[in-house]
Amino acid sequence: MAACEAKDRWSRRRWTVAMAGAAAASVAAWPLRPAAASQLEEPLADSVRHALRAAVEFADPLEPEFASTEARMAYLRWLTQISPRLARRKPDLNERVEFLQTVWYESRRAGLDESLVLGLIQVESGFRQFAISVVGARGYMQIMPFWARLIGDGDVGGLFHLKTNLRFGCVIMRHYLDRERGDLFMALGRYNGSRGRSPYPNAVFAAQRRWQIG
């Protein structure tokens, strides 16, 4: 957690300036989605908007919290199995562990399967932290800028931050899943802006299988 906490001491604005060069390099034509679509900005009831804002603003614990020894062991087993699979994309061990710990925490917090979130990240950005799509979606989970205005502090650059990006992505995915009454196929379509069409959900499901554990 030390590396993650050190980064969190930076202000979002300072983080954005420091990483601007890397972000610009990612703008080049990067095929983020199998279908030419983009997440749609839909009207939100005030109660939904406030609930989503509260969800993304929730403070993280300083250290991972486990309800039991069994829960801690389950996390360590997951980390041990998944980490080697990600080594090619994230060769630095500390960076990889920080990334996976954040995926695990944000997935569990939103009630999502970790393999689904990893599959979504693979399809959306290919695990590129500073990826930008042709429609302006940002970071690992390709968050559209309008979400920073609707439920965040308006700082679009902050969407490149690891925790912020995964927090937004998981909260948004949970929101879409609730709207679709648990229908994951339709919820993934909403996430991509191609609701009802199969290429994007099928791509995520295929990627998800890579990150499932026995």
pLDDT (0 to 100) of residue 38: 72
Within-domain flag for 43: no
- Whose tokens are 């954005």? That residue is 16
- The secondary structure of 110-128, three-state, reads HCCCHHHHHHHHHHHHCCC
Q: Give the pLDDT confidence score for residue 70 in this predicted structure.
A: 92
- Count the domains in the chain: 1
Does the residue 195 lie in any domain?
yes
Tokens representing 101?
């710990």
Average pLDDT over residues 139-167: 93
Its domain, for residue 120, covers: 2-26+53-210
> pLDDT tens for residues 69-107?
998 999 999 999 999 999 999 999 999 999 999 999 999
Q: What percentage of the chain exceeds 70 in pLDDT?
A: 81
Question: Does any domain span residue 36?
Answer: no
Distance CA 147, CA 135 (A): 14
Q: Is residue 91 part of a domain?
A: yes
Report the pLDDT averaged over residues 15-34: 40
Instruction: Assess if residue 33 is contained within a domain.
Output: no
Mean pLDDT calculated for residue range 107-131: 96
Residue 186 has which token pair?
A: 């339709």
The residue ranking higher by pLDDT, 116 or 32, is 116
What's the distance, CA 152 to chain centroid? 15
Q: What is the DSSP letter of 61?
A: P
Q: What's the average model confidence in pLDDT over 200-212?
A: 97
pLDDT digits over 44-64, tens only? 878 888 888 888 888 776 567
How many whole angstroms separate alpha carbon 174 and alpha carbon 67?
A: 22
pLDDT, averaged across the chain: 83
> Which secondary-structure segment (H or E) carries 191?
helix 184-192
**Residue 40 forms part of a structural domain:** no
What pLDDT does residue 130 have?
Answer: 96
pLDDT score, position 11? 38
If one compares 164 and 18, the residue with the highest pLDDT of the two is 164
Residue 171 belongs to a domain = yes
Minimal CA–CA distance to 90: which of 140, 41, 49, 124?
140
How far apart (Å, rounded) are the C-alpha atoms in residues 85 and 108?
Answer: 20
Q: Is residue 35 part of a domain?
A: no
pLDDT 10s digits, 27-48: 333 344 554 457 778 778 788 8
Q: What percent of the chain has pLDDT over 90?
A: 63
**Three-class SS state of 158:** helix
Query: Is 12 within 8 Å of 158 (Cβ atoms)?
Result: yes
Nearest-CA neighbor of 172 among 150, 156, 194, 157?
Answer: 150
Instruction: Provide the token pair at 178.
Output: 């609730």
Model confidence band, residue 190 (pLDDT cutoffs 50, 70, 90): very high
Q: Which two tokens stand for residue 183?
A: 């229908």
- 93-110 and 114-125 helices cross at what angle (nearest 10)? 120
Q: How far out from the chain centre does Cα 111 lie? A: 13
How much is the pLDDT for 39?
Answer: 77
CATH number at residue 145: 1.10.530
